[in-house]
Amino acid sequence: MAFAIILIGQKNEVKTMSNALSNISISSASTGLSKYVTNQWLGIHARSCGFIQRRGNLNPVKFVSALITAVGTPQKRDTIQAMVTEYNCQATKGEQICYKPLHNRLHREECVTFMATLVGRLQERVFTCSRRADADQLLERLQDNGIFIDDIYLHDGTYWKINENFAGKYPATRSAKKAELIEDTYEPDGSPAMKEAKFAQMGLQTTFSMKTGTITKICVTSATANETEYVRHGNGKRILHFMDAGYGSFSLLKQMDERGDHFITKLKSNSAAVIETATIDGSDFTDLFKGKKLTCKEFRTFRIKDHVDLTVNLSDGSHYRVIRFYSKKEHQARNFVTNLFAKEISPKTICSLYKIRWQIELLFKELKSGSNLTGVNTRVENIMLVMLFASLAAHFLKQLVAGDVTTLNGCRSSLYRLSVYSSTWLRNYIKAVFSGDLQTIKQIIKKLADAKSCFEQVKQSHLKHEAMKTLTSVYCYLFKSLDTKGFKKTTIEA
């Protein structure tokens, strides 16, 4: 599957850029990458896209290595000066560069194209190597219950703080700055005049695949963009989509239904849906609620802590299933809407399936805390995009390392921990990958695997497992609730 980064232009133009140690047995993720993204490939691509136009002092391999190391290491400040320092540490005496020449290189459109294609190349490698056994088992159980899907997509958006000069093109959803008082100036009504503070945010509308455990698409938009316009479909695959209430557009749900996809999303509290049937634990309450709206107080407060299984008609004439559940966090009833009508999929199973959506929030946590995707303060849009791609490149490299460490240890390593403490190994790993140094790659993976207690996933408390606040406990419940053939216990269940 090709990786796509969509850049929304100033005039709504859309551009798509796709894109002993000898006895150690590690997965082919890192070793294969060293053959997939070689220094020869980087040099050829740098020239083909126009980033390198003639022989000069800038080495494209060391440029990429320095850029990803400087931007993707959490302890470093992602500034151009940090990139210059990192580049000069790797360069020979005749290759060293000053601030202004590097700034000019980052400023160019060809640099954006160069980095975008590199990110696509790395993501393709992740797709080739990554496979989540737990997600495969879940898809198998769903198919046994009549839900034939090929993957589960999680959709959500996160925001990247950028320079306030971009407030016109990338307006923020909310302002963290208060309006400033203009001295000796008054409004017509006599009140003091206030200068509205500028605040800009870039929206990253993201699609995450549970089957491969990685990003499939990121759309770069303003923070105020309508996120429902950037939901990716499966390109011929049958997909189960999980989305939060912000994606509860009836037109979007109808499009998914017509494509043959399935979805589970939260309904907004003011959704105008009319109840057709209602059951609670197998008991029929249709006569009590038929023809009433979901917003009806009598319905919202009736046996508020019970799961209510409904069929409803939406205002556009669509016919869907709604599960009312009690939110302990909000202390009120909320609703899921889905087109999973199979009786084998109980209301509690629907609610448990939706808990998987939290994995995209953990992805954003890793991107921001582990790969420095928190924001950038530059007035040049191309430099801003190059730094975005460098952060994503660092994320995919760390994901490959996490997969290798997991394979070597036999237990799942924590991508977040590996990312946060990547300052100890990322620079040497990137240099080894681009130079094809398999011995150094194996040494780094071996050292990380030996530090098992530092990088393995933290064991969660029994209370969290009982409350199904961990992915393992959610999968365990789903495997049991969807078991129709008396499967042997999976590793997770055991």
If you write DSSP's letter for every residue of 188-254 in order, what string do you get? TTSPEEEEPPP-EEEEEEEEEETTTTEEEEEEEEETTS-GGGG----TTS-EEEEE-GGG--HHHHH
Burial of 142 (0-12, 13-18, 19+ CB in 10 A): buried
Task: For the chain, give percent helix, strand, coil, nearest 5.
Answer: 45, 20, 35
Q: What is the DSSP letter of 76?
A: S
Q: What tokens does 135 get? A: 């997600």
Task: Characterize 113-129 residue by residue with b for buried, 16 or more Cβ atoms within 10 angstroms of its Cβ, and e for exposed.
Answer: bbbbbbbbbbbbbbbeb
Amino acid identity of residue 376, one-letter, is: V
Separation of alpha carbons 480 and 489, rounded Å: 9
Amino acid identity of residue 85, one-letter, is: T
Sort residue 41 into left (φ over 0), alpha (ψ -120 to 50) or beta: alpha
- Which residue reads 């993957």 in tokens? 151
Strand order of the sheet with strand 308-314?
Answer: 14-17, 4-8, 214-222, 200-209, 151-162, 239-243, 262-266, 332-338, 319-327, 308-314, 273-280, 283-284
Task: Assess contact for 157 and 147: CB atoms under 8 A.
Answer: no
Strand 308-314 relative to strand 214-222: parallel, antiparallel, unpaired?
unpaired
What confidence score (pLDDT) does residue 164 get?
87
What confidence score (pLDDT) does residue 56 get?
67
Separation of alpha carbons 294 and 18, rounded Å: 43
Q: DSSP letter string over 439-493?
A: HHHHHHHHHHHHTHHHHBPPPPPHHHHHTT-SHHHHHHHHHHHT--S-PPPPTTT
Amino acid identity of residue 242, one-letter, is: F
Q: Is the dihedral of CA 65, 384, 244, 152 positive or negative?
A: negative
Number of other residues whose CB lies within 10 A of the CB of residue 186: 10
Strand 151-162 relative to strand 239-243: parallel, antiparallel, unpaired?
parallel
pTM above 0.75, yes or no: yes
Closest CA to 402 of 393, 412, 392, 388: 412
The helix (H) or strand (E) run that includes residue 6 is: strand 4-8
Separation of alpha carbons 78 and 444, rounded Å: 24
- Which residue reads 């509308």 in tokens? 205
What confidence score (pLDDT) does residue 4 get?
53
| Contact partners, residue 342, CB within 8 Å, separation at least 6 | 145, 146, 147
Closest CA to 102 of 69, 45, 55, 63: 63
Separation of alpha carbons 115 and 117, rounded Å: 5
pLDDT in tens, 312-354: 998 888 999 999 999 988 889 999 999 999 888 999 999 999 9
Distance of CA 160 to the CA centre of its chain: 13
Task: Characterize 76-87 residue by residue with b for buried, 16 or more Cβ atoms within 10 angstroms of its Cβ, and e for exposed.
Answer: bebebebbbebb
Separation of alpha carbons 113 and 91, rounded Å: 23
Each residue's pLDDT expressed in tens, for the chain with a length of 494 residues: 444 555 544 333 334 433 333 333 444 577 677 777 888 889 999 999 999 887 666 889 999 999 999 999 887 667 889 899 999 998 887 788 999 999 999 999 999 999 999 999 999 888 888 878 899 999 999 999 999 999 999 999 999 889 989 988 998 886 556 677 787 788 888 888 887 777 889 999 999 999 999 999 999 999 999 999 999 887 889 999 999 998 988 999 999 999 999 999 999 888 889 999 999 998 999 999 999 999 999 999 999 999 999 999 988 889 999 999 999 888 899 999 999 998 889 999 999 999 999 999 999 999 999 988 888 889 999 999 999 999 999 999 999 999 999 888 878 889 999 999 999 999 999 999 988 888 999 999 999 999 988 888 888 888 888 888 899 999 999 999 998 655 445 444 44
> How many CA atoms lie within 13 Å of 280's alpha carbon, on the beta-carbon side?
15
